Amino acid sequence: MCGICGVWYFDNNRSVEAALIRRMTDQIIHRGPDEDGSQLMGSVGLGFRRLSIIDVAGSHQPMHNEDGCVWIVFNGEIYNFQSLRSRLVENHQFYSSGDTETIIHAYEEFGTDCVKHLRGMFAFAIWDAHENRLMLAVDRFGKKPIYTYLDNEKLIFASELKCILEHPNISRELDREALDEYLAYGYITAPRSIFKSIRKLPPGHTMTINADGQATLQEYWHPTMLPPDQWDRRPLEDQAAELREILKEAVRLRMISDVPLGAFLSGGVDSSAVVALMSQVSTQPVRTFSIGFDESVYDETAYAQIVADYCHTDHVREVVRPDVMAILPKIIHQLDEPFADSSMIPTYYVSQAARQHVTVALSGDAGDEVFGGYHRYLYAYRHQLLQRYIPHPLRSPAESMGRVMPKFTKLRPYLSVVNESTDRWHDLGGFFMADRRAELYTPDALHQLGDYQAEQIKQTVLQQGHELDWLGRIQYGDVRGYMPGDILVKVDRASMLASLEVRSPLLDHEVFEFMARVPSHYKLAWGGTKIILKKALGDLLPPQIHQRGKKGFEIPLKEWLAGPLNDLMRDTLTSERARHRGLFNPVVVSRLMDEHTSGTGDHRERLWALLCFELWAQEYAA
């Protein structure tokens, strides 16, 4: 895994300074501690930091083609590079054995369509001196990031936003709509960033910039979910058997490495599935890693040990006692943008633990989005069934029964909203809903935001999936929003902070395309989730894992904010700098803190979001 950056001045008489590229690469040394590289070509400058994984002794970057007219800086891994190379070798001269050079020659062969031939996670920039153009690309799901700044004079790009800020005179004006999205969901999705002047390249897109500074954004892949009339209607057993082979190949490809490799193991279904398949592929015991906490309610290492024993892995369990006061500033600096998923902290700790032993780790990330594993998917399923079987005239009486009759206690969450759209389950969460944001903002901040509401983003996405069934719409919304905006950002930033490469075989695009055809009832039933995944790998997993419910990567955030983090929270959110920003009503902020501290309210997610924003603003905002 690596970090990339670059600058292109559209005035050929203006040269990129070596010192600027050096400052930019210094900001991402954690992404590539093994070596750095740069290439200055007058008005174009490319920078690179390398974490050596494939062809360790070779594949130095920036890299060029045979005649030196095509240059690349590349972050990621191309898992099918060997088969692709065999197709290209007849017409191209290769000087290395890694995947980077394969992209260069694929570009020469297929042009900007080269991305359609790549299977992996990637973010890269190609400078084509012959065509006098620059191409940027990110993988289908947005596992690897590219930030861009474009004006009439220049283009700047980088793996992380902080690199772009090394260039003088970059505006740091907040994008108020991006801030509203952050407060609603805890993250900011592409193409927006927290700054108006800086954008993110969306998943599955390329951007081509010509010498006039004209940028063309092109979507080359879309996470298409299929409607019911296009589902694969074969028996569950047949589809599960096929899924097993597809998953096994996805795992095998991600085990190609010239450096030590292992896996995260939480004891959940997803990470356990990956480890089980790795054990099938590998001739040696798989190295696995888990972390636990002193607080037993947050410690899942017992389940991880069950899987480790069952799969005969070389398992490392580490108990961590998070020094959140020390680690929080480091994480805020790493994130570049406001980000409120507190599981970033344990993700960093498990990455740090794994990095002491390996350079690459496979994970079970995105299994919930792909296979249908979230609790809210199950809630939506039950809600949808009740809507199907309770006639419309009886729904209001059913709501009343659910509220007052004890025997309906377990159905109460569903009966009480049986008249509402199933799409409501997409927005479950603990951040600021629209009415709470309206109360939180100062009058001036609310005026500057205008009529915009962050919910419009998800409403638009859900409308695009109008032909899908209820589960398809919710999964589609997550794959377009929550997954690239939260899950993949968390994994990339946390692992890169530890200089660890993390690979996610469950989010292989061929796995996704297969699952897009699978009927919803093969994913969910009234009593459980991930039916087809468990069917596919049933004999590879211990029975205890089959029976486990979904459990997230949690930390004692509620207790921290009422205890060891309370002083930091109060000092930060009531500081003069926070008040001077004029964004949030101090009376509302104080009320949230008081209620949480006294135990009369649980505002952990909201207060964490506000704390992370203000700590970020103190470092990055104007």
- Catalytic status, residue 2: yes
Domains of the chain, first to last: 2-219 (3.60.20.10), 228-372+482-546 (3.40.50.620), 556-622 (no CATH)
Q: Which of 261, 268, 209, 228 is nearest to 44 (CA)?
A: 209
Q: What is the pLDDT of residue 542?
A: 94
Mean pLDDT of 593-613: 97
Give the confidence band of 116 by pLDDT, cuts at 50, 70, 90.
very high
Chain segment 213-238, per-residue pLDDT in tens: 999 999 999 999 999 999 999 999 99
Q: Say if residue 96's pLDDT is above 60.
A: yes
Residue 406 in tokens: 């004890």
Q: What is the pLDDT of residue 77?
A: 94
DSSP string, 43-76: TEEEEEEE---SSTTS--SSEE-TTS-EEEEEEE
DSSP string, 534-591: HHHTGGGS-HHHHTPPP------HHHHHHTTTHHHHHHHHTSHHHHHHT-B-HHHHHH
Of 2, 114, 163, 612, the catalytic one is 2
Give the confidence band of 295 by pLDDT, cuts at 50, 70, 90.
low
Mean pLDDT of 67-89: 95
d(CA 522, CA 531): 6
Higher per-residue pLDDT: 60 or 430:
60
Mean pLDDT of 556-585: 95
- Give the three-state DSSP class for 620: helix
Three-state SS for 176-192 is HHHHHHHHHHCCCCCCC
Cα torsion angle, 547, 552, 556, 562, sign = negative
Higher per-residue pLDDT: 588 or 411:
588
Give the confidence band of 56 by pLDDT, cuts at 50, 70, 90.
low
Mean pLDDT of all residues in the chain? 90
Residue 200 in tokens: 């993110």
Chain segment 369-420, per-residue pLDDT in tens: 999 999 888 887 777 777 777 776 665 665 555 544 444 444 444 444 445 5
Q: Say if residue 427's pLDDT is above 90.
A: no
Contacts of 72 (CB under 8 A, 6+ apart): 61, 62, 63, 64, 100, 103, 104, 107, 124, 125, 126, 127
Give the confidence band of 319 by pLDDT, cuts at 50, 70, 90.
confident
